Structure 1
Amino acid sequence: MAETYKFISDINVRQQKWTSKVIVAEKYVAKTSHNQRTRYQNMVLIDMQGNKVQCALYNYDITAFKNTLIWSNTYLISNATVKFTDPKRVAAIGPIQWTINGKTKVQAVEEDNRAFLFSTYQIVSFAVLHLHMDNYNEIDVLGVVIDVLPKKIVQTKYNNESCIQELVLVNEK
Structure 2
Amino acid sequence: MAETYKFISDINVRQQNWTSKVIVAEKYVAKTSHNHRTRYQNMVLIDMQGNKVQCALYNNDITAFKNTLIWSNTYLISNATVKLTDPKHVATVGPIQWIINGKTKVRPVQEDNRAFLFSTYQIASFANLHLHMDNYDQIGTLLLRLQFFYQKIASNN
Q: Matched residues in 2 for 1:32 and 1:119: separation?
A: 32
What SS does structure 2 have at the residue aligned with 1:40?
Answer: strand
1:96 lines up with 2:100 in the alignment: no
Counting matched residue pairs gives 141
Partner of residue 146, structure 2: none
User: Are the equivalent residues in 1 in contact too, given 2:50–2:120 (CA < 8 A)?
Assistant: yes
| 1:136-147 aligned within 5 A | 138-139=138-139
What code does the residue aligned with 1:83 have?
K
Identify the structure with the greater helix proportion. 2
Stretches of 4+ aligned residues off by more than 2 angstroms: 122-129, 137-141
Q: Matched residues in 1 for 2:24 and 2:132: separation?
A: 28
User: Are the equivalent residues in 2 in contact too, given 1:121–1:140 (CA < 8 A)?
Assistant: no
* Structure with bigger RCO (C-alpha 8 Å, 6+ apart): 2
- Unpaired stretches in structure 1, ≥5 consecutive residues: 142-150, 155-163, 165-173
User: Are the equivalent residues in 2 in contact too, given 1:39–1:59 (CA < 8 A)?
Assistant: yes
Q: CA deviation at 1:88?
A: 1.0
User: Are the equivalent residues in 2 in contact too, given 1:82–1:98 (CA < 8 A)?
Assistant: yes
Identify the structure with the greater strand proportion. 1
Partner of residue 87, structure 2: 87
Give % identity. 81
Partner of residue 144, structure 2: none
Partner of residue 13, structure 1: 13
What SS does structure 2 have at the residue aligned with 1:94?
Answer: coil
Give the structure-1-normalised TM-score: 0.75
Give the structure-2-normalised TM-score: 0.83
Q: Matched residues in 1 for 2:106 and 2:68: separation?
A: 8
